[in-house]
Structure 1
Amino acid sequence: MAKSSKRRPNNTGSSAKKQLQQTLAHANAQSNPLAALPSAFQSVNIAQKHDTAGDDAPSKKNGTIHYYKSPLPESILQQCLDLFERNMGEMYKKSEWGLDMEEKRGELLHEDARFLIIILEDDTADNDAADADDNETATAAAAADSSSDDIIKNTISPKQPQQQEVIGFAHFRYEPDEDSPSSTPLSPITYLYELQISLTSHGLGKTLMTLIELLSLQLHMTKVILTVFKCNTGAMKFYLTKLKGYDVDECSPSNFEGGDDVEYEILSKRIGHKRV
């Protein structure tokens, strides 16, 4: 969900501030940091059951993971917005924030927005080369025994590419930790704005979080921070029990007087400083 709006005075010294700016600039300049990770981190296997009656054997499709800098291609952006609204729309409507899809679109279009997008591969992609060969063969055969008009009528039309299907995404940014105690210098952190998936029980959320942590480590971030509605019990359980190292952050409202009435918690995980 969106980031809380709390801010604190900047007590970071000039030298530390310069280092902070350099670290964030380096992180934001990356065009594809996934390339530095093993290829195994760039795809996921998704088991699916056949629709044929009596056939329960699962088939597998591949999901490929892509890194994007804002702005997203419009078709992918709209699918991310649709997925967010399906998963979170009712929670936002019931919250004091309300649901504002134009505001959400603006968040995803922010110049500092970074994304990991899982695209479900078209299951006809493996047949594209064979189809192309068949097209050439059919055209050649038609040319051998038909007039030019017949060639046009008998030539097999190439398949049109299908829209890429988004089955999960993470929206995050590399930022200074402006919610940390004012007595400590600002440090570079990864703030997770959204983690949304359309298929459960496939490990998509865990895969995306693992990648975010690896990229954060690689780019010298000190924490991964995120905001979760308290009423979103599934997400709270996911971060606090299914993932390792996440806890209620020291700046979360629940740590302060009157904070129990606030609708969200801020969770975080501290990340080491060494490169991957």
Structure 2
Amino acid sequence: MDYSDLNNTEKYADVEERIRYVKQINQLSDPTQPFSHKMVFNKQSLELKMNFLKATNIKNLEREEIFHLFKKNMMESYKNCPWGWQERKKRSEMFHCDARYIIVRYLANNELAAFIHFRFDLEDSIEVLYLYEIQLKPEVRSRGLGKYLMELIEIIAFHHNMKKVVLTVLKNEEKVVQFYMSQNYEIESYSPKNSFYYILSKRNHRLTNV
């Protein structure tokens, strides 16, 4: 008997099971529902409300609000790295059918203050919540909101048994890199060594064999 073939079969079966599980989580109508009490932020003179949306349910006007904030925050950084600014490609990524959002709005006037774009996915054959974007308007930065949103996304990820929260960050965004490091994110083993970006992650220590 070829035990290597048996081991490979078991590995494939395990990966297939992980794929099925991620699909199951993606079918949830609202993965933030167990944490509805945390979908508010009332600190530092900010009164904000949050709601979850799948990209497929975001109307065109709200899509434009979201993309405008991303573009305002990130276009110059993209222009200054090898990715370059490719608006059509970025829109396609941000509003892909698997994209999930937490939208943050001012309680008083319902204007957009921030958003999180994420997906439940497999990365390196491991179940992860991949954080694509966390974007804040300048006037709500340095007031505890970014840290609060990171803690919220981690709670959601680990509640749904994701083994890691993973993200990509441009090296030229030095303050952002420092922020993630301060939140105990680490450079992934498969992050390219000599690239213009890092792949960072935080493990779910409740789960073993990660």
Same fold (TM over 0.5): yes
Q: What amino acid sits opposite 1:42 in the alignment?
A: M
Per-residue deviation, 1:61: 4.7
Q: Which of 114, 125, 135 is residue 100 of structure 2 equivalent to?
A: 114
Matched, 1:202 2:202: no
The alignment's C-alpha RMSD in Å is 1.9
Partner Cα separation in structure 2 for residue 195 and residue 37 of structure 1: 19
Instruction: State the match for 2:4 in structure 1.
Output: none
Q: 3-state SS of the aligned residue for 2:129?
A: strand
Residues 169 and 195 of structure 1 are in contact (CA less than 8 Å); yes or no, is this contact kept in structure 2? yes
Distance 1:43 1:91, change over 3 A: same
Partner Cα separation in structure 1 for residue 87 and residue 51 of structure 2: 24
Distance 1:38 1:74, change over 3 A: closer
Bigger proportion of residues as strand: 2
Partner Cα separation in structure 2 for residue 38 and residue 94 of structure 1: 39
Structure 1 runs (4+) greater than 3 angstroms displaced: none
Instruction: State the match for 1:34 in structure 2.
Output: 32
Matched, 1:174 2:113: no
Q: What amino acid sits opposite 1:80 in the alignment?
A: I
Per-residue deviation, 1:102: 1.6
Partner Cα separation in structure 1 for residue 129 and residue 158 of structure 2: 10
Q: How many residues align structurally? A: 197
Partner Cα separation in structure 1 for residue 150 and residue 185 of structure 2: 11
Q: Which of 267, 271, 276 is residue 200 of structure 2 equivalent to?
A: 267
Q: What amino acid sits opposite 1:234 in the alignment?
A: K
Distance 1:172 1:87, change over 3 A: same
% same residue: 31
Q: What amino acid sits opposite 2:84 in the alignment?
A: G
Q: Which of 41, 48, 57 is residue 63 of structure 1 equivalent to?
A: 48
Distance 1:120 1:20, change over 3 A: same
Distance 1:113 1:78, change over 3 A: same
Partner Cα separation in structure 1 for residue 9 and residue 90 of structure 2: 31
Q: Which has the higher contact order (CA 8 A, sep 6+)?
A: 1
Q: What amino acid sits opposite 2:119 in the alignment?
A: R
Q: Which of 52, 69, 90 is residue 104 of structure 1 equivalent to?
A: 90
Q: 3-state SS of the aligned residue for 1:205?
A: helix
Residues 217 and 272 of structure 1 are in contact (CA less than 8 Å); yes or no, is this contact kept in structure 2? no
Partner Cα separation in structure 2 for residue 11 and residue 77 of structure 1: 43
Of 209-218 and 14-23, deviating more is: 14-23
Distance 1:11 1:196, change over 3 A: farther
Per-residue deviation, 1:80: 1.2
User: TM-score scaled to structure 1, two decimals?
Assistant: 0.67
Q: Which of 66, 78, 87 is residue 80 of structure 1 equivalent to?
A: 66
Distance 1:227 1:11, change over 3 A: farther
Distance 1:11 1:217, change over 3 A: farther
User: TM-score scaled to structure 2, two decimals?
Assistant: 0.87
Distance 1:12 1:93, change over 3 A: farther
Q: 3-state SS of the aligned residue for 2:82?
A: coil
Q: Which of 220, 230, 239 is residue 171 of structure 2 equivalent to?
A: 230
Partner Cα separation in structure 1 for residue 20 and residue 130 of structure 2: 18
Matched, 1:218 2:159: yes
Instruction: State the match for 1:52 in structure 2.
Output: none
Structure 1 stretches of 5 or more lacking a match? 1-9, 48-59, 124-163, 179-185
Structure 2 stretches of 5 or more lacking a match? 1-7
Matched, 1:189 2:128: yes
